[in-house]
Amino acid sequence: MALRRAGFEPGKQRGSHLKLHHTTSGRVCIVPMHRELATGTTASILRQAGLLPEDLTALRESGGTWPPPGHPWPPPARGPWPPRPG
């Protein structure tokens, strides 16, 4: 539900994996439809979506619109997001 608030729409599903497409940026995000997700899987979903963990928290808590004022959305589609240190 949080990814829908961020502008992602469901696409194809293969088995237990759902492919989400962002309506404006064209980003694609693959989400396994399991009850629980491992920390690394959640991090991978956020990277694909171009979100930070704080963004996910804000999306869960807000019933309103996304992005909040001043937030750089949609993020650039090139390279890893967020940038990896090193």
Q: How confident is the model at residue 62 (pLDDT cuts 50, 70, 90)?
A: confident
| pLDDT (average), residues 64-77 | 62
Contact yes or no for 67/73 (Cβ under 8 A): yes
Alpha-carbon span 50 to 38, nearest angstrom:
18
- Alpha carbon of residue 20 to chain centroid: 9
Q: Is residue 46 part of a domain?
A: yes
pLDDT tens digit string along 7-48? 889 999 999 999 999 888 888 999 999 889 899 999 999 989
Q: Tell me the residue range of the domain where 21 lies.
A: 2-56
CATH code of residue 25: 3.30.920.30
Number of domains in the chain: 1
Confirm whether 28 is domain-assigned.
yes
Which runs of consecutive H residues, i.e. helices, occur in the chain? 2-5, 39-49, 53-61
Cα 72–78–7 angle (5° rounding)? Answer: 50
Domain-embedded: residue 41: yes
Q: How far is CA 51 from its chain centroid?
A: 5
% of the chain with per-residue pLDDT over 90: 29
Residue 15's pLDDT is 92
Q: What is the pLDDT of residue 55?
A: 82
Which two structure tokens, joined as six digits, stand for 40?
A: 């690394």
- What per-residue confidence (pLDDT) applies to 17? 94
